[in-house]
Structure 1
């Protein structure tokens, strides 16, 4: 699949930031937040998946920078955590939190908690500083 009418490919950090911005837009325009809860879980799941994808883009780039030619794309969350742990324990902790907040609570379970999703988004933003 090719990118049509989008110009040259973005750098990994820019692409991850774009995903993160898309997730925030989905939440603000579609999910309907009231009293700290989102009204439409469908859009929370969509935004959580998008933001989690940004985290995986960040991790892939981080590992490419560390492993060079030996890099192969991780195939599981355990593979990501084991490999990232070798290089940076703080990034590994952020990954575990993002996995819990966005992938499990947000995408898989469809939490309506705005606080949980916001924590996940903030953690992805912190992960961006690593690439």
Structure 2
């Protein structure tokens, strides 16, 4: 489960960008550049974990957000909901728009961690089942 370890490392890196570089004051990050970097870093961590779960099927298909949503819809609707929230916060709000709310960033990172935990649990169960 190297992918989930790498995904967690990216979440930790995103937290580091926010705490060390984004200059938080009164619940607001002042350096938009590092908010954007943190958002993109955390979102790619989610994608790494999900790619491990979803495997190589449909390799020729472009892996757009819609592709991930379709795949997750058939697996677990609560996971789909978490993904939609993380996508909106980490990728769109933080990654592109540079949303400065520390509370919003915290929610996005929490959702990312829950997705990675879910994937790791699912992969562990699958491995145990196949042994």
TM above 0.5, one fold? Answer: yes
Q: The residue matched to 1:70 in structure 2 has which SS?
A: coil
Q: Which of 57, 60, 72 is the aligned partner of 1:70? A: 57
Note the C-alpha offset of 1:128.
1.2
Mapped to 1, the partners of 2:91 and 2:116 lie a distance apart of 17
Q: The residue matched to 2:74 in structure 1 has which SS?
A: helix
Question: What residue is the counterpart of 1:42 in the other structure?
Answer: 33
Task: Compute the TM-score of the two structures, normalised by the length of structure 1.
Answer: 0.85
1:51-92 per-residue CA deviation (whole Å, 9 max, x = no partner) reads 00001111111212xxxx635265210111001110111111
Mapped to 1, the partners of 2:76 and 2:62 lie a distance apart of 16
Task: Compute the TM-score of the two structures, normalised by the length of structure 2.
Answer: 0.85
Mapped to 1, the partners of 2:51 and 2:62 lie a distance apart of 8
| Structure 1 runs not aligned, ≥5 long | 1-9
| Structure 2 runs not aligned, ≥5 long | 121-131
Q: The residue matched to 1:22 in structure 2 has which SS?
A: helix
Question: What residue is the counterpart of 1:124 in the other structure?
Answer: 112
Q: Would you say how many aligned residue pairs link Structure 1 and Structure 2?
A: 118
RMSD: 1.4
